[in-house]
């Protein structure tokens, strides 16, 4: 662990569940040294059982942290405080000896590709936060597996936390408990330490009975030591350390060292009417319908889509050269607003049992509600907002927080792929990048080759709602949809992706880019989206099979005139959907070039520079 102040009280707290002595020496040392530092009242080693889960939920009900939703089976509602509602990028850091190990050194300004903190600054931050931070609370020891237990692609972690909310959520999101401990035996594990930063007795009363310490929040990653240290936030992305912290930031660094990929990608299986099946991995920034695609009901007759995962993919080439992928998670931590029977019927069928909802609105009959749920309230049923106040549509603010969540077991999803927990993973034949681009970017195009595909991922941009001071929307760079999640220097990350082409016998997946969100001059979407997106997947599927026709353009291959199956669709303007405007793309090239020059600077691989120049030349010839 990091340097530690001598704890004033050097007494080991009592162990109320589990046997510390039976643990492997390194695990025991990790727990004991942090227990001496954080000084919890007791230690509880989690076994992941149903009985334990019931006790944890009871504790939270007693503390007022959650309430039971009487309308559903085993569903719960947690309301946080308004200052603890999302990941906080400004307080999420990576600690390495040199800044350049974490991010490229930008030509001007600060890096947008991660946040570095020096070892000295971290040591100070750690020592002002952790000594005595768990006083009066229980330290829960959560052994967990990212990925199916026993899979050669899986990794083990142990999270120490003083939050029962984290215990209940990690039980849904990971394979947690005794089985993970057994899988650890004497092997390596990622060390995760989390505290809400509210020792007892409290100095001031809690809001919503939600312990957190926003002033001192810090989420730190120490990749050289395989450690994650999080303080002050109870919110999922900052406290469920198996998720983005381990499965992307730390795992991407491990993947670089071990020769695989840890990516912010959904994984889906698609089967054609003849029964042939292919798996795709897809990277989208937030607000681009990632979970909707992972759980899509295809509109095309005879086609079937099944979900392997909706958020993270760990991918490694096997001895036969197939890129094998697992979903390291065990649950879905999905954004609730916008989820409805229309947008994602399979999510709706998944989330109404054994689920923890956070920061959604509550109906007076013991149910949940949010913007875009698309269901009228029954007569006489009223709403309480996520701020725990009576709510009506005249309130002028949303009833659910825009980042409110459901945390639900993946196994409940009606379209989970039969191989979603297969230890060897599923074979990926196509990789999809996408963004929300109202103008200029066609519905779908295919990369010319692997290097060009890596360039497309690096150049990803998407519309985002900007901070309040900029009114309206801006287009943001979000390479590989990994911008907030890179565990090391983005230039080196690109080189790692490019290196996959040099693996002996590697069957490199085809790479595509999609944009469901192009609009016409009246601001109307040109493409219906949702289940109709299966038509685009059909074209990709057939391209991989060598059956669909395509025509080359300046930016990649697009479907030939009749290659996209539009049967039964009316009023789709293909000319506008696939228009490649010289003026638009000259600006786009300029923006991408500028971003690479400033942000990636000296670390930009020459292959990406070459792709940039080649695109520029092709656009000039339009």
- Please identify every residue annotated as catalytic: 288
Closest CA to 296 of 277, 269, 334, 314: 269
> CA of 76: how far to CAs of 70, 381, 385, 413, in Å?
9, 19, 15, 18
Q: Which two tokens stand for residue 493?
A: 């990350």
DSSP letter (8 states) at residue 404: -
Q: CA triplet 603, 237, 400: central angle to 5 degrees? A: 125
Contact 436, 517 (CB under 8 A): yes
* Burial 85-111, CB ≥16 within 10 A → b, else e: bbbbeebbbbbbeebbbbbbbeeeeeb
Contact 50, 178 (CB under 8 A): no
Alpha helix stretches (DSSP H) within 363-466: 450-458
Q: Which helix (H) or strand (E) holds 52?
A: helix 50-63
Please tell me the total number of residues recorded for the chain in this structure. 622
DSSP letter (8 states) at residue 454: H
- Per DSSP, the chain holds a count of helices (H) and strands (E) of 16, 32
Q: Distance between terminal CA atoms of the chain?
A: 58
**Which residues are within 8 A (CB) of 444 and not within 5 positions of it... i.e. 6 or more apart?**
512, 513, 514, 515, 536, 539, 540, 558, 559
Work out the burial of residue 308: count CB atoms within 10 Å of its CB; fewer than 13 is exposed, 13-18 middle, 19 or more buried.
buried
- 313-317 and 261-263 strand pairing: antiparallel
Beta bridge partners of 228: 192, 221
- The C-alpha atoms of residue 524 and residue 516 are separated, in whole angstroms, by 12
Phi, psi at 506, each rounded to 5°: -65, 130
**C-alpha of 62 from chain center:** 31
DSSP letter (8 states) at residue 564: S
Contact 152, 172 (CB under 8 A): no
| Three-state secondary structure readout of 565-577 | CCCCCCCCCHHHH
Beta strands in 516-566 (DSSP E): 550-552, 557-559
| Three-state secondary structure readout of 101-143 | HHCCCCCCCCCCCCCEECHHHHHHHHHHHCCCCCCCCEEEEEE
**What is the number of alpha carbons within 13 Å of residue 502 lying toward its C-beta?**
6
């Amino acid at each position: 662990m990091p340097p530690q102040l001598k704890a004033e009280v050097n007494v080991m707290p009592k162990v109320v569940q589990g046997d510390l002595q039976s643990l492997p020496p390194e695990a025991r040392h990790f727990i004991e040294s942090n227990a001496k530092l954080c000084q919890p009242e007791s230690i509880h080693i989690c076994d992941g059982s149903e009985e334990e889960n019931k006790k944890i939920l009871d504790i939270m009900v007693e503390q007022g942290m959650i309430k039971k939703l009487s309308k559903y089976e085993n569903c719960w509602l947690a309301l946080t405080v308004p200052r603890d509602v999302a990941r906080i990028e400004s307080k999420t850091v990576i600690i390495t000896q040199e800044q350049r190990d974490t991010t490229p050194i930008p030509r001007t300004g600060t890096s947008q590709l991660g946040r570095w903190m020096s070892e000295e600054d971290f040591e100070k931050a750690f020592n002002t936060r952790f000594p005595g931070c768990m006083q009066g609370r229980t330290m829960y020891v959560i052994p967990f597996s990212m990925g199916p237990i026993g899979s050669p692609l899986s990794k083990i972690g142990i999270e120490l936390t003083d939050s029962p909310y984290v215990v209940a959520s990690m039980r849904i999101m990971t394979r947690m408990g005794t089985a993970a401990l057994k899988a650890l035996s004497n092997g390596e594990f990622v060390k995760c330490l989390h505290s809400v930063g509210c020792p007892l007795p409290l100095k001031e009363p809690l809001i919503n009975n939600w312990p957190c310490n926003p002033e001192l929040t810090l989420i730190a990653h120490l990749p050289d030591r395989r450690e994650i240290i999080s303080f002050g936030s109870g919110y999922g992305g900052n406290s469920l350390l198996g998720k983005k912290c381990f499965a992307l930031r730390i795992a991407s660094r491990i993947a670089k060292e071990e020769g695989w990929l840890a990516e912010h990608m959904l994984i889906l299986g698609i089967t054609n009417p003849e029964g042939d099946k292919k798996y795709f991995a897809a990277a989208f920034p937030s607000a681009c319908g990632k979970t909707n695609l992972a759980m899509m009901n295809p509109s095309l007759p005879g086609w079937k889509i099944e979900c392997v995962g909706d958020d993270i993919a760990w991918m490694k080439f096997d001895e036969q050269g197939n890129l094998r992928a697992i979903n390291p998670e065990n649950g879905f931590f999905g954004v609730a607003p916008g989820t409805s029977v229309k947008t994602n019927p399979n999510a709706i069928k998944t989330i109404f049992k054994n689920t923890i909802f956070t920061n959604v609105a509550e109906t007076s009959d013991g149910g949940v509600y949010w913007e875009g749920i698309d269901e009228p309230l029954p007569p006489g049923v009223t709403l309480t907002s996520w701020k725990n106040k009576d709510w009506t549509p005249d309130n002028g603010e949303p009833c659910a927080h825009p980042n409110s969540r459901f945390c639900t077991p993946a196994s409940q999803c009606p379209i989970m792929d039969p191989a979603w927990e297969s230890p060897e993973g599923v074979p990926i034949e196509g990789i999809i990048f996408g963004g929300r681009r109202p103008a200029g970017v066609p519905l779908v195009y295919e990369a010319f080759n692997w290097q060009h595909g890596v360039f497309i991922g690096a150049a990803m941009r998407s519309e985002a709602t900007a901070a309040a001071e900029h009114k309206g929307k801006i287009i943001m760079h979000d390479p590989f949809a990994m911008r907030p999640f890179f565990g090391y220097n983005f230039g080196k990350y690109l080189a790692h992706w490019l290196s996959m082409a040099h693996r002996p016998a590697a069957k490199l997946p085809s790479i595509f880019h999609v944009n469901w969100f192009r609009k016409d001059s009246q601001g109307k979407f040109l493409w219906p989206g949702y289940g109709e997106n299966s038509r685009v997947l059909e074209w990709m599927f057939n391209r991989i099979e060598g059956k669909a026709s395509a025509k080359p353009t300046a930016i990649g291959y697009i479907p030939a005139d009749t290659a996209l199956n539009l049967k039964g669709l009316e009023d789709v303007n293909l000319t506008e959907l696939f228009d490649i405007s010289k003026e638009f793309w000259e600006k786009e090239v300029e923006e991408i070039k500028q971003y690479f020059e400033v942000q990636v600077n000296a670390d930009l691989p020459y292959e990406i520079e070459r792709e940039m120049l080649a695109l520029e030349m092709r656009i000039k010839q339009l």
